[in-house]
Amino acid sequence: MLESFQHEILFAARLLLGGAFVFAGLRNVQNRNLVASLMVARGVPQAMLAVWLGIVLQVVAGALVIAGLWTVPAAACLILFLIVATPMFHNFWDHQGPDRASRINGFVGNVALAGGFLELIAQGV
């Protein structure tokens, strides 16, 4: 029965996965100074440039995933983004207490997002 809804299910998956990144990218526009200061603290050179490149990547690749255009390369770019951003912003090993728990949740969530993108890549959609 679910096979008859395969296209709708894949669209929902693309909408949820890509939408998370469009939302995060747009939110990062508002929080760009905070994000840049966190990146400076982690030793990232040209942090503000990196923030803007990350924002563009999140929004454009997320929108491409939603639209089903160049889904495989867009999903691959977002996996690479997660590989770089996750240990930088969800470094639970450097924290204790509630902050550690929050960062573990973010880390695990990003791992799950990467899994969803791998599924899209495997589907070739």
pLDDT in tens, 3-36: 788 889 999 999 999 999 999 999 999 999 999 9
Greatest CA separation found in the chain?
A: 52
The token pair that represents 121 in the structure block: 């890549």
The token pair that represents 123 in the structure block: 């589907």
Using 50, 70 and 90 to split pLDDT, how confident is the model at 91? confident
pLDDT of residue 124: 84
Counting the structural domains of the chain, the total is 1
Using 50, 70 and 90 to split pLDDT, how confident is the model at 1? low
Looking at the predicted structure, is the pLDDT value of residue 105 above 90?
A: yes
Q: Shortest CA distance to 16 belongs to which of 113, 123, 118?
A: 113
Domain containing residue 20: 2-123
Rounded mean pLDDT, 96-101: 92
pTM of the model: 0.91
